[in-house]
A and B are shown apart, each in its own frame.
Chain A
Amino acid sequence: MARIGVFICHCGENIARTVDCSSLAKAVLGIPGVRFAVDYKYTCSDPGQQMILAAIREQRLDGIVVAACSPSMHEATFRKAAMIAGLNPYLCEVANIREHCSWVHDDKPAATAKSLDLIRIMVEKVKRNQELKPIKVPITRRALVVGGGISGIQSALDLANAGIPVALVEREPSIGGHMAQLSETFPTLDCSQCIMTPRMVEVAQHPLITLHTYSEIEKVDGYIGNFTVTVRKKARSVDLKKCTGCGTCMQKCPQKKLPSSFDAGLGQRTAIYVPFPQAVPNKPVIDRANCTRFTTGRCGVCQKVCGPGAIDFEQQDELVEEKVGAVVLATGFQLYGIGEQSEKMLKGYPEYGHGHIKDVIDGMQFERLASASGPTAGEIRRPSDGTVPKTVVFLQCVGSRDPAKGISYCSKICCMYTAKHTILYKHKVHDGKAVVFYMDIRAAGKGYDEFTRRAIEDDGALYLRGRVSRLYQDGGQVVVSGVDTLSGRNVELRADLVVLATAVRPQPDARTTAQLFSVGYDASGFLNEAHPKLRPVETAAAGVFLAGACQAPKDIPESVAQASAAASKVQILFSKSELEREPTVARVHRAAPPLYSICQGCFACAGACPYQAIEHEELKDRRGQVIKTVARVNPGLCQGCGTCVATCRNKAVDLDGYTDDQVFAEIAALGAN
Chain B
Amino acid sequence: MSTRLAYFPGCSQHGTGREFDESIRAIAGRLDLQLDEIPEWACCGATPAHAIDPAADRALGRWNLGQAAKCGDVPVMTGCASCFARLRSARAHAGSDQRILHIAQVLGEPAMRERLKAAVVRPLTGVKVACYYGCLLTRPAGPDAIDDAENPRLLEDLAGLLGATAIDFPLRLDCCGASLALARPDIVHRRSGRLLAMAQARGAQALVVACPLCHSNLDFQQVAAMQAVGAQGEIPVLYLTQLVGLALGLEARQLGLQRHFVDVPALVGA
Contact = CB atoms under 8 A, between A and B. Distances in A.
Nearest to B169: A472
A482 to B, nearest CB: 13
A472 B170 contact: yes
Given A347-B148, A350-B148, A474-B170, 14 more contacts: A349-B150, A350-B150, A350-B151, A351-B150, A351-B151, A404-B141, A469-B150, A470-B150, A470-B170, A470-B173, A472-B168, A472-B170, A473-B170, A479-B170
A347 B150 CA distance: 10
A460 B206 CA distance: 44
Contacts of A472: 168, 170
B136 to A, nearest CB: 15
Contacts of A470: 150, 170, 173
Interface string B237-248: 000000000000
B173 to A, nearest CB: 7
Contacts of B148: 347, 350
Interface of A: 347, 349-351, 404, 469-470, 472-474, 479
A248 to B, nearest CB: 46
17 contacts: A347-B148, A349-B150, A350-B148, A350-B150, A350-B151, A351-B150, A351-B151, A404-B141, A469-B150, A470-B150, A470-B170, A470-B173, A472-B168, A472-B170, A473-B170, A474-B170, A479-B170
- In the A-B complex, list the 7 residue pairs whose CB atoms are closest, starting with the nearest: A472-B170, A350-B151, A351-B150, A351-B151, A470-B170, A350-B150, A479-B170
Contacts of A479: 170
Nearest to B201: A474
Contacts of A347: 148
Interface string B145-182: 00010110000000000000000101001000000000
Contacts of B150: 349-351, 469-470
Q: Is the interface of A mostly helix, strand, loop or mixed?
A: strand
Nearest to A405: B150
A562 to B, nearest CB: 37
Contacts of B170: 470, 472-474, 479
A671 to B, nearest CB: 41
B143 to A, nearest CB: 13
Contacts of A404: 141
Contacts of A473: 170
A469 B173 CA distance: 10
User: Which of B141, B148, B151 gathers most chain A CB within 10 Å?
Assistant: B151
Contacts of A351: 150-151
Nearest to B173: A470
Nearest to B152: A350
Nearest to B153: A350
Interface in B21-62: none
A584 B246 CA distance: 78
B235 to A, nearest CB: 18
Nearest to A352: B150
Contacts of B151: 350-351
A495 B170 CA distance: 15
Contacts of B168: 472
A198 B269 CA distance: 73
Interface string B214-231: 000000000000000000
A29 to B, nearest CB: 57
A203 B173 CA distance: 54
A479 B168 CA distance: 14
A350 B170 CA distance: 12
Nearest to A492: B194
A570 B70 CA distance: 73
Max chain A CB contacts within 10 Å: which of B141, B168, B170, B173?
Answer: B170
A479 B150 CA distance: 16
Interface in B161-212: 168, 170, 173
Contacts of A474: 170
A349 B170 CA distance: 14
Nearest to B151: A350
B31 to A, nearest CB: 30
Interface string B121-158: 00000000000000000000100000010110000000
B196 to A, nearest CB: 16
Nearest to A404: B141
Contacts of A469: 150
Contacts of A350: 148, 150-151
A404 B150 CA distance: 12
A469 B175 CA distance: 13
Contacts of B173: 470
A283 B141 CA distance: 51
A349 B151 CA distance: 8
B192 to A, nearest CB: 16
A347 B141 CA distance: 12
A472 B173 CA distance: 12
Nearest to A471: B170
A474 B148 CA distance: 23
Nearest to A353: B170
B34 to A, nearest CB: 36
A381 B69 CA distance: 62
Max chain B Cβ within 10 angstroms of own Cβ: one of A349, A351, A479 = A351
Nearest to A470: B170
A399 to B, nearest CB: 13
A472 B141 CA distance: 22
Nearest to B194: A492
A408 to B, nearest CB: 16
A347 B151 CA distance: 10
A350 B172 CA distance: 14
B187 to A, nearest CB: 12
Contacts of A349: 150
A472 B150 CA distance: 13
Q: Which of A469, A470, A473, A479 has the most CB of B within 10 A?
A: A470
A473 B198 CA distance: 12
B175 to A, nearest CB: 11
B245 to A, nearest CB: 30
A391 B211 CA distance: 37
